[in-house]
Amino acid sequence: MAVNLKQLAVEFEDPNKIGITSGHRLCPGCAAPMTAKMALMVAKHLGYDVVVGLATGCLEVSTTIFPYSAWSVPYIHNAFENVAATISGVETAYRALKKRGKLKREKPIKFIAFGGDGGTYDIGLQALSGAVERGHDFLYILYDNEGYMNTGNQRSGSTPPGSYTTTAPVGKKLPGKPQLKKNIVEIVAAHENVYAATATVGEPIDYMNKVEKALNFEGPSFIAVLSPCVRFWRIPNDAAVSITKLAVQSKYWPLYEVEKGVYRITKKPRSFKPIRDFLEQQGRFRALLSRPDADKVISMLQDYVDKRWERLLALEEATKDKPAR
């Protein structure tokens, strides 16, 4: 089933059916609620009931300020580091109750965990790896805003080089964070029997197709969604969607999926844009761009994304029809 927008619009005419309601306190133009609502709509459209788990992060603190909750689906939050462990416990409880015949419901339940990049790349990495290794049937959606934006722009394992953060500022000595971004999809894809993919809100149909595939996949699945933070990427409120389109075109965020070790690039742009275009649109790189050594960082980044794209193309060719398990 390819996602049909008109059909979805009829089905979710009442916005309270989506699962995440209006009245949450995320910044205007934030991409995190888009990430959440698209995934929830696909899950419900496929006939599943959804249980959501949230790691600490913007999405969690802004949607569940006591006594308000913006969730109309069952929701669980535990701590920063353990959303994957929490949701795997919920999933196991569901399976156990079902096995003993204590659940009198027909509709199957799917478990979706949402985590930010702090709760996934850094703090929640071992809980995620454990849950994937144990093979729980859940979907982990990472909304990647490339920093600890909730607490005011600290560097995370996901922050790109040259970006301005309060803990790796662009100063006299350093041009921002010197290290490259961690490749989280490769880390998850290195586990056995897993579906891992990248997506972004700028390519919603591609993203929703991946959610569908991930939900129907038997076993753990993971989708990394590039989800801009308008506040600390220093972009205009309405730019979250256009900037991610540019991220795909500049090879900064290649769209691909890894199903049991088989790589597939889901979008191959006909022409590419230089990475400089992507950086120039964002205020977090402004301090870098005004430095004399800016070209060094940019050419390093350009070289990296080019090589990664070539590598992806080669992997796609090499792993064709060779699933690991």
Partner 1 sequence: MADLKKWHELPIGGVIDKPATALAYKTGSWRVMRPIWHEDKCTSCMMCWLHCPDNSIVVKGGKMTGIDYEYCKGCGVCASVCPVKAIDMEPETKFLEEAE
- Yes or no: say if 147 and 229 are a contact pair by the CB < 8 Å rule: yes
To the nearest whole angstrom, how small is the minimum distance from the Cβ of residue 232 to partner 1? 16
- Yes or no: say if 92 and 70 are a contact pair by the CB < 8 Å rule: no
One of 201, 214, 223, 258 touching partner 1 (CB under 8 A): 201
User: Is 1 one of the binding residues for partner 1 (CB under 8 A)?
Assistant: no
Give the DSSP letter of residue 107: S
User: Is 290 one of the binding residues for partner 1 (CB under 8 A)?
Assistant: no
Give me the residues paired with residue 224 across strands: 142, 198
One of 188, 240, 297, 305 touching partner 1 (CB under 8 A): 240
Helix axes 204-216, 32-45, angle to 10 degrees: 50
In 3-state terms, what secondary structure has residue 189? helix
Site for partner 1 in 117-176 (CB under 8 A): none
To the nearest whole angstrom, how small is the minimum distance from the Cβ of residue 244 to partner 1? 11
User: Is 79 one of the binding residues for partner 1 (CB under 8 A)?
Assistant: no
Site for partner 1 in 27-56 (CB under 8 A): 27-34, 37-38
Task: Report the run of H or E that residue 95 belongs to, with start and end.
Answer: helix 83-99
Phi, then psi, of 198 in degrees rounded to 5 = -110, 155
Alpha-carbon gap, residue 261 to 205, rounded angstroms:
23
Nearest residue (CB) to partner 1, 73 versus 300? 73
Nearest residue (CB) to partner 1, 95 versus 231? 231
Nearest residue (CB) to partner 1, 9 versus 174? 9
Give me the residues paired with residue 115 across strands: 142
Nearest residue (CB) to partner 1, 148 versus 207? 207
Alpha-carbon gap, residue 37 to 41, rounded angstroms:
6
Contacts with partner 1, residue ranges (CB under 8 A): 5-10, 13, 15-16, 18, 20-34, 37-38, 63-64, 66-73, 75, 201, 204, 230, 236-242
